[in-house]
Structure 1
Amino acid sequence: MGKVSDLYRQRVAAGKLRPDPAQEAVLPQMDRVLDEMASTPAPKRSAWRAFLGVGNPQSPPGARGLYLWGGVGRGKSMLMDLMAEAAGDISCRRVHFHAFMQDIQAGLEAARKRGEQDTVRPVAEAVARETRLLCFDEMQITDIADAMIVGRLFQVLFDQGVVVVTTSNRVPEDLYKHGLNRQLFLPFIDLIRQRMEVVCLDSQTDYRQNRAAGGQVWFTPANADAKAAIDAIWADLTGSAAPEPCRIEVKGRQVELAACSGRVARSSFWDLCGRPLGPADYLAVADALDVLMIDGVPRLSASNYNEAKRFVTLIDALYEAHVRLIASAADEPEQLYNEGEGSFEFERTASRLREMQDGAWGTRD
């Protein structure tokens, strides 16, 4: 196990990072988490209890976690990568919050089918058996199904000795803001404050905005010229192959994309975001592709809130999988969603869309 601060300084010395006082200010908190974990023995897991389906006894309080919040593009994800790297032999899982909650919901469904009375505990204990340190990127809660179980889920994880470090664009009190039955969610905010140190990354620099622009991949407005430009990119990437529909299996269902050639696909905004698709569907799409082209991203507002929410989830999935995005849209990312419910959350999406335009940002290795 190492120190996050050491890795950070090594990257700065190598010219891979620029020193940032706001980032440097949170490094001691990240080091503290790992130091406290190193001085706290890992909780013992009973194989017999697991075999018999009996919950493990509560572990003594371990290291206090970390909730790192701040504006988009301030380096939170980079710091989370360093945290996971510095963890060394500590069993660590670095995962996007969306993807983690998809796994949890799948586990809850399996527990329900087994007839479990308490579906959350066995799922949480299964996570705890494999992981001591959970590193979440981009904690945000907009789904009521997630909102109603996170308090119980994290309480069991904490009781089992799991330490959580997460990033977010929002202070805890603003999570699930204006959500349905939010009063039932409020104990989770109290739990965050009890078990995690809440720290603001107050950098004045948005590193995503400062990346060098690459070849054009975002075309606005979404007119005939934009269509012709994307047609030309399609021809170049696929050797002018005739597009064929493809179907991606997701939990016994199929998500259809109208135009595919190898790991390149093309779809209209409405085919991807106008249908009732969810995070699992978009994660499967991202896993199946290296390049996705989207035609006709409209202006987003309260009038198409559901479609906008799906678009945000889709971009998260593409971003995490390093899928190259080529799109035509009504406006630049920062101007797509300027007011109304969801506009705050879209700032992160706009920042990611801007970053994904960089020529150095692309498909997975």
Structure 2
Amino acid sequence: MGAVRARYDERVGSGALTGDAAQAEAASRLDALAVALSAPQKRGLFSKPPEPVRGVYLWGGVGRGKSMLMDMFFAEAKISPKRRVHFHEFMAEVHERLDVWRKMGEADRKRSPWRVKDAGDDPIAPVARQIASEARLLCFDEFQVTQIADAMILARLFDAVFAHGVTVVATSNRQPDDLYKDGINRALFLPFIQRLKERCDVVELASARDYRLDRLVEAPVWYAPLGVGSAAALDMAWTRLTLGAEPQHCVLTVKGRKLEVAREAAGVARFTFEELCARPLGSIDYLAIAATFHTLILEGIPLLTPDRRNEAARFVSLIDALYEARVKLVASAAAEPDRLYTDGDGAFEFQRTASRLFEMRSASYMAEERRSLPEN
């Protein structure tokens, strides 16, 4: 038995997890990959990079434990350098690097350590070389493709990354054939899907249970008033909903601006009210959050007095975005929704938001599938 499966069985034995045959099988498959990565690799002919070890594309519904298994695998993978990153953040970085290369002068390009001979003005080759220098193992959380700008470069980018000997492991809610489904010019994206299936074993985490939903309905999702008890309840909710996955940091790029997500794991993002509603964010930022995460934990919603009407307006926009996407909300607040904002500009209109907040606590809302939002 390998280290990943041993970690998994240890957590089942301790009672932290419920044993699941599909999770156990996926753990064993990730063990096999960890062993292959630890084996010495021979250089190819004429010092070409070795063929990368075949990776894993682990997919399944929300709440099946994909991020938890990725945690275990990444910790046990004996290869360096390695990197784990949210796919949305990775693609934002790629576009930024492509832009930097395009703006470089010819002299600077020639001096760059990432220059690829005979690549001409094409920025894909040097950017792929730079990515490969940073990671022999590249692990993606939440692999999804919704933007045409991403779809049009992925095949060429990953062809080049694979050519440098990089192994890819990814978790996703979609099987490869459903990536960028119904997207603009999808025919141009299909070679990437084929390449992904050639370079990664596609493993379905076919658990029948949505453990996230089980954990959402087994405890309240709205904690009031604020205090030590509500803070502790949110900490417990975080652990419960992420199946104990390690929190990650990621950056969402929204119309060229960076939106920091200090804590996210297993498709769950955690923010304070101040982080989301006391800063100059707008509906486009909240839509980006709703499109990226299936559950939001929001800490410290205060009473929305007249002098906080701007924060109240942002909170309304946030809840609208979450509601339309059917994102699940777990929150701590100073009061019940209908007592949060009773006086001031917009207080009457806030009744609609309060109604939505009550609905978002219902079992029927919890059981609804997440909805895709229009591309921003």
TM-score bucket (shorter structure): 0.5 to 0.7
Q: TM-score, normalised on structure 1?
A: 0.63
Cα distance in 2 for residues equivalent to 1:292 and 1:144: 37
1:153 aligns with 2:157: yes
Q: Look up the match of 2:360.
A: 332
Shift in CA distance, 42/126, structure 1 to aligned 2, threshold 3 Å: farther
1:209 aligns with 2:213: yes
Q: Look up the match of 1:105.
A: 95
Q: List gaps (5 residues or longer) in structure 2.
A: 110-120, 231-252, 260-271, 302-314, 338-352
Q: Is the 8 A contact 1:300 1:336 kept in 2?
A: no
Counterparts of 1:282-293 in structure 2 under 5 Å?
Answer: 291=299
Shift in CA distance, 298/159, structure 1 to aligned 2, threshold 3 Å: same
Q: Look up the match of 1:127.
A: 131
SS for the counterpart of 1:59 is: coil
Pick the aligned partner of 2:80 from 90, 93, 99.
90
Q: Look up the match of 2:178.
A: 174
Residue deviations 1:330-365, cap 9 Å, x none?
2328649979xx83x58xxxxxxxxxxxxxxxxxxx
Q: Look up the match of 1:165.
A: 169
Cα distance in 1 for residues equivalent to 2:212 and 2:68: 12
Cα distance in 1 for residues equivalent to 2:276 and 2:7: 40
SS for the counterpart of 1:5 is: helix
> Match for 2:274: what amino acid?
V
Q: Is the 8 A contact 1:267 1:295 kept in 2?
A: no
Q: Is the 8 A contact 2:57 2:172 kept in 1?
A: yes
Residue deviations 1:22-72, cap 9 Å, x none?
11112232112122212242869xxxxxxxxxxx97523121011111111
Shift in CA distance, 72/250, structure 1 to aligned 2, threshold 3 Å: closer
1:273 aligns with 2:263: no
Shift in CA distance, 290/101, structure 1 to aligned 2, threshold 3 Å: same
Cα distance in 2 for residues equivalent to 1:31 and 1:19: 17
Q: Look up the match of 2:343.
A: none
CA RMSD of aligned residues (A): 4.2
Cα distance in 1 for residues equivalent to 2:37 and 2:135: 12
Shift in CA distance, 150/325, structure 1 to aligned 2, threshold 3 Å: farther
Shift in CA distance, 159/110, structure 1 to aligned 2, threshold 3 Å: same
> Match for 1:106: what amino acid?
E
> Match for 1:216: what amino acid?
W
SS for the counterpart of 1:264 is: helix
Q: Look up the match of 1:352.
A: none
Q: Look up the match of 2:28.
A: 28
Shift in CA distance, 105/278, structure 1 to aligned 2, threshold 3 Å: farther
Q: TM-score, normalised on structure 2?
A: 0.61
Deviation at 1:90, TM superposition (A): 3.3
SS for the counterpart of 1:178 is: coil
Deviation at 1:11, TM superposition (A): 2.1
Residue deviations 1:211-245, cap 9 Å, x none?
2425615xxxxxxxxxxx7xx759x99xxxxxxxx
Q: Look up the match of 1:81.
A: 71
Q: Look up the match of 1:18.
A: 18
SS for the counterpart of 1:66 is: strand
Q: List gaps (5 residues or longer) in structure 1.
A: 45-55, 218-228, 238-248, 256-261, 347-365
1:137 aligns with 2:141: yes
